[in-house]
Amino acid sequence: MEKKQIFEIIAGILLILATAGTISGVYLYEYKFINEFNTIDLEARSPEMGNWSLPEINLVQGEEMRLRIRNTDTVTHGFSVPELGIGVDHPIEIKAGHVEFVFITPTKKGTFLYACTVWCSKQHPKMVGKIIVTEK
């Protein structure tokens, strides 16, 4: 084998190891981060593609919960629960292919609507769900 071929093989192996190491590191970090909080996974998709993955989210008053909102769509989505003060002062946008974390500690019981706040399709007004907060 020539010296050039050996260098190309070594470079290829290093590239594969770097890629695999990065991906493994991300998964390990996410796994550790998930275990530190109560987490609910919510997928944001335009209504034509299936809408929110959870039409209802059940929470307990006074207990902190983390929503991991994953945008699996090709457009930007938003998230807001106005009655709980979420996404009102600081809009929450989830760009296509991205993930946003929202921490919620409901202080009152009831049923509250959550909605996409970024125009995402002709069916945008249908992109809503419910958060149901119960007492302990």
| Whole-structure pTM value | 0.71
Rg (CA), the chain: 20
**Six-digit token string for 103:** 């921490």
Residue 97: DSSP 8-state: T
Pairing of the two strands 39-44 and 65-71: parallel
Rounded distance, CA 79 to CA 116, Å?
5
Closest CA to 43 of 104, 107, 94: 94
CATH code assigned to 38-134: 2.60.40.420
One digit per residue, pLDDT tens: the chain, 136 residues? 788 888 888 888 988 988 888 878 777 777 666 666 788 999 999 888 889 999 999 999 999 999 999 998 889 999 999 999 999 888 999 999 999 999 999 999 999 999 999 998 888 888 999 999 999 8
DSSP type of residue 6: H
